[in-house]
């Protein structure tokens, strides 16, 4: 079973400036909680028990968020604000731990994942990129489906979704002979990072959720710099795919790219509308705008 997930959070978040100048983009709130919490909870819902943050000195607030805050807890307890106390102590279940390791230089996503090598040890693992929120409230979410498929087949799983052809140069793109149905996996023929528009092997883009065999770490150690002069996870997966079957898993949930401003606003709307306590008032408020 896959129990470990690597979350690379060291990036500067330049697409989210000026906010990300002094707030990690992962800590920007979507409704009433930081974006990273949704990603961590998605992993936990899929059975992950250890979250490995690959982080940077400027991002200590992410670690603080998942840590206990003794002073705040004591104050809330003394003031008998038990609901609020529960809201800060129940962020994650007891059996889930959050650990972190630094990425000393910004050498790319592949390098970030490699920084977690010692903590991952001999275990196969998942990778979740925190820019993208995946909204999937079904009993078994997309990541859980990928883990289940990996458990039975031992084939790496790469989550994909269709994007318009003119956007293929912004993503990893997979090469498949037949497009998988939603919630299904097919063996892929190749994967390429940010191909030029018009040269992409398909319109199925890598969403930022991966289930990988631990052997990917050795491949990452040999991966030369690729697109953007960075060590790319996509290139290591392409290497893996030469010796081992790798599958593209087509997601059924909905994605929100919170690394971009408009994607973030869309996420706030969707998560706001489906929020258990705020949803109805928020809907009324939007109606009142009369747009
Ligand atoms: C990364 C991956 C890319 C993937 C994308 C999803 O790129 O390298 O393959 O499609 O995330 O968001 P980045 O957006 O970090 O440049």
Domains and CATH numbers, the chain: 4-289 (3.90.550.10)
Of 42, 10, 38, which is closest to residue 24 (Cα–Cα)? 10
The mean predicted confidence, pLDDT, of the chain is 94
d(CA 246, CA 190): 9
C-alpha 74 – ligand 1 centre gap (Å): 41
Going by the DSSP 8-state scheme, the letter that residue 16 receives in this structure is G
Does the pLDDT at position 279 exceed 90? Answer: yes
C-alpha 35 – ligand 1 centre gap (Å): 17
| pLDDT on residue 265 | 95
205 CA closest ligand 1 atom index: 10
**pTM (2 d.p.):** 0.95
C-alpha 193 – ligand 1 centre gap (Å): 8
C-alpha 171 – ligand 1 centre gap (Å): 5
Task: Name residues contacting ligand 1 (CB within 6 A).
Answer: 109, 129, 131-132, 171-172, 193, 205-208, 232-234
Instruction: Please write the tens of the pLDDT for every residue from 91-146.
Output: 999 999 999 999 999 999 999 999 999 999 999 999 999 999 999 878 899 999 99
Ligand 1 atom 11: residue of nearest CA = 208
172 CA closest ligand 1 atom index: 9
Does the pLDDT at position 291 exceed 80? Answer: no
Ligand 1 atom 7: residue of nearest CA = 171
* Maximum CA extent, the chain: 63
Per-residue pLDDT band at 19 (split at 50, 70, 90): confident
C-alpha 95 – ligand 1 centre gap (Å): 30
Instruction: Please write the tens of the pLDDT for every residue from 71-92.
Output: 999 999 999 999 999 988 989 9
Q: Mark out the alpha helices in the chain (DSSP H runs).
A: 35-45, 60-66, 70-78, 82-89, 109-114, 117-120, 142-153, 216-222, 233-243, 261-273, 279-288
C-alpha 87 chain-centroid distance: 23
| pLDDT on residue 241 | 96
193 CA closest ligand 1 atom index: 9
Per-residue pLDDT band at 70 (split at 50, 70, 90): very high
C-alpha 177 – ligand 1 centre gap (Å): 22
109 CA closest ligand 1 atom index: 8
Residue 134 main-chain phi, psi, to 5 deg: -110, 115
């Amino acid at each position: 079973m896959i129990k470990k997930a690597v979350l690379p959070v060291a990036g500067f978040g330049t697409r989210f400036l000026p906010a990300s100048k002094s707030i990690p983009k992962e800590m920007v709130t979507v409704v009433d909680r930081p974006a990273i919490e949704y990603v961590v909870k998605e992993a936990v819902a899929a059975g992950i028990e250890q979250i490995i943050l690959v982080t940077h000195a400027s991002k200590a607030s992410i670690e603080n968020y998942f840590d206990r805050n003794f002073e705040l807890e004591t104050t809330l307890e003394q003031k008998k604000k038990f609901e609020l106390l529960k809201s800060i102590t129940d962020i994650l279940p007891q059996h889930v731990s959050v650990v972190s390791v630094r990425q000393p230089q910004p050498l790319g996503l592949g390098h970030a994942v490699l920084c977690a090598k010692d903590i991952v040890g001999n275990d196969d693992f998942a990778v979740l990129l925190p820019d993208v929120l995946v909204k999937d409230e079904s009993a078994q979410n997309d990541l859980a489906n990928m883990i289940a498929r990996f458990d039975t087949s031992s084939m790496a799983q790469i989550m994909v979704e269709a994007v318009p052809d003119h956007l293929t140069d912004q993503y990893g793109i997979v090469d498949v002979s037949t497009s998988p149905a939603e919630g299904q996996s097919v063996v892929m023929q190749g994967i390429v990072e940010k191909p030029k528009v018009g040269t992409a092997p398909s319109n199925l883009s890598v969403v930022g959720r991966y289930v990988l065999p631990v052997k990917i770490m050795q491949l990452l150690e040999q991966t030369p710099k690729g697109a953007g002069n960075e060590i790319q996870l996509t290139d290591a997966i392409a290497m893996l795919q030469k010796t081992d079957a790798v599958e593209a898993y087509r997601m059924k949930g909905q994605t929100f790219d919170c690394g971009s401003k408009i994607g973030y606003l869309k996420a706030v709307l969707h998560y706001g509308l489906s929020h258990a306590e705020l949803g109805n008032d928020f809907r009324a408020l939007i109606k009142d705008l009369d747009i």
